[in-house]
Structure formats: C-alpha cells, structure tokens
Structure 1
Amino acid sequence: MAKAPTPRCIIVRHGQTEWSKSGQYTGLTDLPLTEYGVGQMKRTGESIFRNKFIDPNQITYIFTSPRIRAKKTVELILENLTEEQRTNIRVVVDEDLREWEYGDYEGLLTEQIVQLRKSRNLDQNRPWNIWRDGCENGETTEQIGLRLSRVIGRIQNLHRKHQEEGIASDIMVFAHGHALRYFAGLWLRMGEEKQCDGQEPQPPTYQDDTVPFISLKSYRHLVDNPSFLLDAGGIGVLSYAHHNIDEPALALAGAFVCPPEEESQHGSTAK
C-alpha cells in the first residue's frame, strides 16, 4: 500500500483591503475586504480546487487569524466546496495568528514610520528593521516569534499524528502579510533560538479539544528580513523533505505538483 502524501502546510494571505492596497500597516485594525478582494478570493478558491492544486478531501484543518479579513477569506475559499467537504474540515480560530501588533505604527506607511522614528532620535546608527527592532508600543520580534512558534508546534504535531495514522493531511493557515512571512521563516528554522517556560497563554489562544497544546522548551525569532514576498490573496506551501516531519522545508513548486510516474524521495504516491 502506498504511503499517504507528505503533509503540507498551505499558507494563505487574506484578500485585498483598503490598507493592504495603500500599503498602510494593518495589525489589530479590523478592516473588511474590498469588493475586489472578495472577487479575488472567490476566483482563487475556484482555481485551486478546480485545477486540483489542492485536494479538498485532504484538508484536515484550517487555522485562521481572528481578524475579519482573514475569516472572510476562509469563507470565500470554502464557497467552492460541497457542504460535505466543508463539514469534514475543522476550522480553528487562533489568536496566535493575528498580525504583528504595530503599536504606534498602526495605519502608517513605511516612510511615515521611518520619519516618526527619526523624530524620536531612533535609528541613528542603522536603519529600522521591523524583523529585528519590532514596533514602539507594539510587539517585539521575540513576542511574535514565540506565538507563531506555538502555532507551528501545534501544526507539526498534528502532521506527525496524521502521518503515523496514514492520513493525507493538508493544513491551511489564513493570516496576514508580516505574520505569514515570519511564519515561513520560522518553519525553515531561520533566526535565533531562545528558551521558554512552555506555559500555555491565559486565556488560551484557541478553542478546539482536537488540537493538543504543545509545551515548547524553546522557540525561534527572526533577527532580519527573511526576504519572502506574499501579496494579498497569495498562497505559499510549506512541507517536509524526505517525508520526515523533522525536516521542515519550502515546497518551491507551491501548490502545483505534476503527478509523478514513480515514487518520489519526498513522499510516495500510488502508480
């Protein structure tokens, strides 16, 4: 019997909002999708399932940010599935997937942030780098790194369980521009490692008894730009090399996989 395909983590940035269009930093501000953004995600959902880039029957979980723009994107993507297919996918709203908390920089453009920091006599020796320096009265890179490391721990634990059970498992993650690029960097073990107490946040960041909380002994945080791009509505694919959950990898082919005619080193498929 052929093994189940290698598990994947499919990251989806929410569709266009007025601020993603203008380039304004949008953290906790709860903006809706634009009319274009709604159509954008409807077309995306139709395309990925019609062209079999993603098999809806292999989606086990969807994790989403609590922001309206992310949850609406989930809804629009799933519109293209049957009621039975939607019922078989558990949707978990996870506060840990919220966008970077920008603090004083909320709603500003990058050039405005640079000028604001200059007026406060910051960055005299080197330019501002959010991935290293974080945001005034917002989150540090260590804080966002810790919470995204928790999400990755939960997802990789589910993937390990599904792989042991022989279950095909695509887990989709719907969130935001900075958060998802940061997430991808951590998936690839970029940045620096720090020890942590492993204690669960109070209150918990999600409510789903089928998703075990993973107590982390350490977490990673970035110290520089991971140099990834992900436009509004964009999709990326993370997976594992050699069918091994301990070897997280970037799937350079994205969601598109040409059906192989023989077994691949990255996972087996039936002939």
Structure 2
Amino acid sequence: MSKVPTPRCIIVRHGQTEWSKSGHYTGKTDLPLTKYGEGQMLRTGKSIFENNRFINPNHITYVFTSPRLRARRTVELVLNPLTEEQRSRFRIIVDEDLAEWDYGDYEGLVTDEIVELRHSRGLDRERPWNIWSDGCENGESTHEIGLRLSRAIARIQNLHKKHWEEGIPSDIMVFAHGHALRYFAALWFQLGEEKACETPEERANPHSYDDDTVPYVQLEKYNYLIKNPNFLLDAGGLGVLSYAHRNLHEPSLELAGTFLCPPEGGVGKHSKVVPSRNDA
C-alpha cells in the first residue's frame, strides 16, 4: 500500500473583521482584519505548523485564496512561520471563484434587516427567507455560487488525483469566507441538487485565476444547495476535507479536522497513512 498520506483540502476562514464580529453580511466590501483577527491568525499559523505540527508544510502543494483583502491577509499571517524554502515548494493562487457570496442588496446588513427589507418588498409571505435556496436580490442565486464553487472543487480534486498518481503528498489549503466555505464543504461530498451544465454561462470558462499549472476542468454537471447544510465555521476557523478509505472517488468530511490520531496496529483499508510529526 502507498505510504503517501491521503490528500486533504484544508479550508480556512479569514480572521475576525469588524463585520464578522457584528454579524453584518460581508461580500465584496474589502474590510481589513481587526487587531484581534491579525493576532488570531498568527497564533493559528504558529499552532498548526510549529507548536503542534498538525500540518506538515512540506506536504502543501497549493494555496488557493479568495481575492478579498481579509482572505489574502489571513494567508500571509497563517503562513508566517514557514521558511522561504518551505514556501518555495507550493504556489499561492488568487481565485475569483472562491469569493464570498455576492449579497447584492443585503451587503452590510444583519439578518433582521434583510428580513425586514424583503418583507417591505412583498417577499417571504409564505415562508421565511432562506439564503441557501432564495439567494440574494441583485446578488447571487444559489445556482450561481454553486456553479463557481463546483468549478473550484473540480480543479482541486483533479490536482489531488494527479499528485496521488505521482506519489506526491498533497495538502491543498483554501482561504475564503463563512458562507462560501460552508457551501464549499457541502459540495465537496456532493450534497444538494445536481444539475447538468446546459447554458453558455454554465459551460463557460470564466478564467477566475491565472496559473498555468492548474488545469481547468470542464464541468458536465454541478451541485447547488437548496437548504442550510448546518455547518459552523467561525472567523479564523479551520476544517479538513479528504477522501474515505483512501479512495479519491469517495470525497468526505474529516470530522477530526487537523487533529489526526495515528491508526493502531498499522494501516487498514479504512485508515489514513499518518506520517510522523518529524517526517520531512
């Protein structure tokens, strides 16, 4: 059996901003991290790479980030403990497909204000507003965000497949936002509704990133959500997505996150290969 660890996708929500703290919907607004948020993500990087070594930096192959300032700053802070030699082993790619949900008319509002606004417009008379199915006025529908996140996932899973076949350990980190990453995690293991790519928009390559080492994957179908996946990911939080039974056809949620326990008595078909914490 291969000694290469099962590939992982490590998702990281950006650190605290004033609006993440107050609950205001933050899509395209380019807010900086708070002072607490800056320290929060520095501590996170030190913990996962130095103090506890939950992530082996030599296993990182790519870092993908949303274009928003708060996400890109979080990348800088979390990767701060790494040496220049370690950073040279992977590429950092800004990907528009990882931007937060476009909230449209709801940008900068809190939930109660959104509900009141929609009621004033004659909406939601029969049931409460649900962003996962109803989307945002003059912003993105659930089909639109589902499509772009499906594209991002297809590229990452394609890279994992390539690295697995080449015998290369591959942890890919994704830095983005609260709604986008919860949606991303649900789509990773194919929750939601499936739709064939039929329209020009669904079949288009929007060139959301600029890096020739990441092949574009033409989707024939994609998934979108119609209800809340009931995942939590606070500002600064981490999650881990991987594959069950060391089978890349079984994308799964790693409930243990980065906190991995080595399997007892060797590696079985249900186990991950967990390298030594001193493994280079």
Shorter-chain TM-score: which interval?
over 0.9
What is the correspondence of 1:191-206 to structure 2 with a 5 Å cutoff? 191-197=192-198, 199-202=203-206, 204-206=207-209
Cα deviations across residues 1-30 of structure 1 (Å, max 9, x unaligned)? 742010000000000001001000000001
Equivalent residue number for residue 68 of structure 1: 69
Residues 48 and 268 from structure 1, CA distance in 2 versus in 1: closer, same or farther, beyond 3 angstroms? closer
Whether 1:29 and 2:29 are equivalent positions in the alignment is: yes
Amino acid at match of 2:182: R
Alignment match, 2:43: 43
CA-CA distance at 1:244 after TM superposition: 1.0
Q: Report the alpha carbon displacement of residue 88 of structure 1 after superposing the two structures with TM.
A: 1.0
Structure 1 position 267, deviation (Å): 3.1
Aligned to 1:223: 226
Separation of aligned partners in 2, 1:159 and 1:266: 18
1:86: how far off?
Answer: 1.0
1:2–1:269 Cα contact (<8 Å) kept? no
Equivalent in the alignment of 2:212: 209
Indicate whether 1:257 and 2:260 are aligned: yes
1:12 alignment partner, SS class: strand
Q: Deviations over 1:235-258 (max 9, x none)?
A: 000000011111000001100112
Post-superposition shift, 1:138?
A: 0.3
Q: Distance in 2 between matches of 1:82 and 1:169?
A: 18
Task: Answer yes or no: is 1:55 the counterpart of 2:56.
Answer: yes
- In the other structure, the counterpart of 1:149 is 150
Deviations 1:55-104 (A, max 9, x none): 10001000100000000000001111111001111101000000000000
For 2:162 and 2:18, locate their aligned partners in 1 and report how far apart those are by CA, in whole Å. Answer: 40
Q: Is the 8 A contact 1:9 1:237 kept in 2?
A: yes
d(CA) in 1 for partners of 2:2, 2:121: 61
Instruction: Count how many residue pairs are aligned between Structure 1 and Structure 2.
Output: 270
Distance 1:109 1:138 in 2: 16
Change (3 A) 1:123 1:258: same
Which amino acid in 1 is paired with 2:272? G
Q: CA RMSD in A?
A: 1.3
TM-aligned CA distance change 1:14 to 1:269, over 3 Å: closer
Give the secondary structure class of the aligned counterpart of 2:164: helix
Q: Which amino acid aligns with 1:14?
A: H
Partner of 2:17: 17
Of 231, 234, 237, 2:237 maps to 234
Q: Does 1:172 align with 2:153?
A: no
Could you say if the C-alpha distance between residues 2 and 269 of structure 1 is closer, same or farther in structure 2, counting changes exceeding 3 Å? farther
Does structure 1 conserve the Cα–Cα contact (< 8 Å) formed by 2:133 and 2:227?
yes
Q: d(CA) in 2 for partners of 1:209 and 1:111?
A: 44
- The one-letter code of the counterpart of 2:273 is S
1:201 offset after TM fit, Å? 3.1
Distance 1:123 1:270 in 2: 52
Alignment partner of 1:244 is 2:255: no
Which residue does the alignment assign to 1:96? 97
Aligned partners of 1:18 and 1:33 also within 8 Å: yes
- The aligned amino acid for 1:73 is T
Identity of matched residues, %: 69
The residue identity in structure 2 corresponding to 1:268 is V
Equivalence for 1:266? 271
TM-score, normalization by structure 2: 0.94
C-alpha contact 1:33 1:69 (8 A) present in aligned 2: yes
CA contact (8 A) 1:240 1:266 kept: no
Structure 2 residues without counterparts, runs of 5 or longer: none
Runs of 4+ residues deviating >6 angstroms = none
